[in-house]
Amino acid sequence: MRTRVNWKPVFGMAALLGAGIFMSSASAATFVYVGNADSQDVTVLELRSNGDLTPVETAAVPGPAKPGSSLPLAVSPDKKRLYAGLRNEPYSVATFAIDARTGKLTPLGSGPLADSMAYVVTDRSGKFLLSASYGGNKVTVNPIGPDGVVQPVQQIIATQPNAHCIMTDPSNRYVLHTSLGGDLVYQEKFDGKTGKLTPNDPPSVSVKAKAGARHLVFSPSGKFVYLVDELDASIYVFPWDAKTGTLKKEVQVATSLPKGFEGKPWAADIHLTPDGKFLYASERTTSTLAAFSVDRKTGLLTSIDSYPTEKQPRSFNIDPTGRYLLSVGQLSNSMTSYAIGKTTGKLTKLREYDPDRHAELPAADVREYRDTLADLLGGRTGKTQPQAALGISLVGRPFRPRIDGDTRGERRLIELQRIDIVRQLHPEKDAALGVLELRRGAELFVERFHQHIQLGAQPLRQLRHMRGKMRRAIFREHHLLQRAASGVGLQ
């Protein structure tokens, strides 16, 4: 499955990764939307304040029977709707309503697109959908109806080969879009009332021949535009003239390649932290993320380091707080989360998420696992405790492997995402053990359980065969704690 991060970690996972988008709701929850191309659906997750991801749902995207090469996503400015572009005929874009409380998606309808679109985005008012077609060499404008459904295209503009990105400036009065094959950034005037694009003066700005203009991003201050070029992995820093809506002469050309690079560059994505202090760009030949600090007065970049990431990182995104970055790979079928250093911008790897290991778990299996854990925790002491009292939270991952006739059983793959034991396992030992020891006991249990389950890599039937082994391991941990409580030394 192909994933694009719109978290924009809108991401996709199954065969290759697609796109990812971050969205903060009015309730302060942050939701992540990942476009899965091969399975043609959107994975929804909630991003917790500690960087953990909790699955919400996987929503099917209505469209052609044969999936496209990617599933570009866009979120409306008011965070109420999500748009998913279908890249196979008949070309269309599906609209979903977003539940602000849960992040769940409800289909509203589909509208036509003029071609296979590599990039979709709304203008700043949410009244128009702007799209760029890589194979069709064009950009288009579609009005969006009051119900959120995209209407037929109202304007098509031919470009040099391989249009790849399009977006409005912060004022919504101008539009920039790229041509990878033409090494150009087009400059347009934009009428926010009618949605009409007209060439600006000058109509375009060129980069180095065969650089391959790909994606761009405005600085939060609106003073600079950063462009990543696919074919030489360069990053152009342009001052932005907000009055005329044009790019000034670049003040820097940096590189997203790691030191000592040899080979053919293949850059992909670019994003800034919300405060504008740090910039990141992905490079697919080396499968790395390049990190830079940004001088917010001059716009100039200073290299921090390059970090290994998912194989062929086509997309990544940064959450609205600027604390986390998520990266997805075209060939790794997985996603990695990173913490962003608040003062340094350095990336610290938090976790890898593998869709083939984190499939949705049927409700019956969740109940069976919960019953098993309750038995394991209470059975050996002769005090079988209610599930609710144990406070065990078992959540199956939302990523689903591609379902063919021979792989249907892979739905059984699960991860025990989080076990939180909130009740004391041995109430009669409360005074001796204390809260700290109880927490340590819970942590030991979680660690031991994860070792046996291998983070969900084993099918459900294999877990059943491992119960005896887990019983013995858990009993040993509890026995040690009991001995400690009674004053017997540990050996």
For 391-406, the pLDDT digits (tens) are: 222 233 332 323 233 3
The reply to whether 381 and 447 lie within a common domain is yes
What is the CATH number for 327? 2.130.10.10
Q: Are residues 309 and 383 in the same domain?
A: no
Burial class (CB in 10 A: 0-12, 13-18, 19+), 361: buried
Structure confidence by residue, pLDDT tens digits, 143-182: 999 999 999 999 999 999 999 999 999 999 999 999 999 9
More confident residue, 254 or 52: 254
pLDDT, residue 24, reads: 61
- Mark whether 376 and 349 lie in a shared domain: no
Domain stop point among 320, 353, 386: 353
Mean per-residue pLDDT, 380-399: 31
Indicate the pLDDT class of residue 240, thresholds 50, 70 and 90: very high
The structural domain count of the chain equals 2
Is position 491 within any domain? no
pLDDT of 332: 76
Asked if residue 358 belongs to a domain, the reply is: no
Q: 345 and 426: one domain?
A: no
Q: Which of 52-66, 228-242, 449-463 has the lowest mean pLDDT?
A: 449-463
Sole residue written with tokens 């990431």: 309
Helices (H), 320-405: 363-378, 387-390
Residue 138 lies in a domain: yes
Residue with tokens 């939701």: 31
Query: What pLDDT is attached to residue 328?
Result: 85
- Indicate whether 490 belongs to any domain: no
| Cα separation of the two ends of the chain | 50
Q: Are residues 325 and 405 in the same domain?
A: no
413-467 confidence digits (pLDDT tens): 223 222 333 233 444 433 333 333 444 444 444 444 444 444 344 444 444 444 4
373 and 314 co-located in one domain: no
Decide if 247 is inside a domain.
yes
Is 168 within a domain? Answer: yes
Residues 313 and 190 in one domain: yes
Closest to 426 in 3D by CA, of 360, 475, 464, 459: 475
The pLDDT, as a whole number, for residue 19 is: 53
State whether 345 and 373 are in the same domain. Answer: no
245 assigned to some structural domain: yes
Domain membership flag for residue 40 = yes
- Which residues form the domain of 339? 3-353
**Eight-class DSSP state of 91:** P
Residues 337 and 398 in one domain: no
If asked whether residues 373 and 226 sit together in one domain, one would say no
User: Among 456, 273, 400, which Cα is nearest to 3's?
Assistant: 400
List, in order, residues 6 or more apart from 264 with CB less than 8 Å away. Answer: 285
Given a cut of 80, is residue 225 above it in pLDDT? yes
Contact 263, 296 (CB under 8 A): no
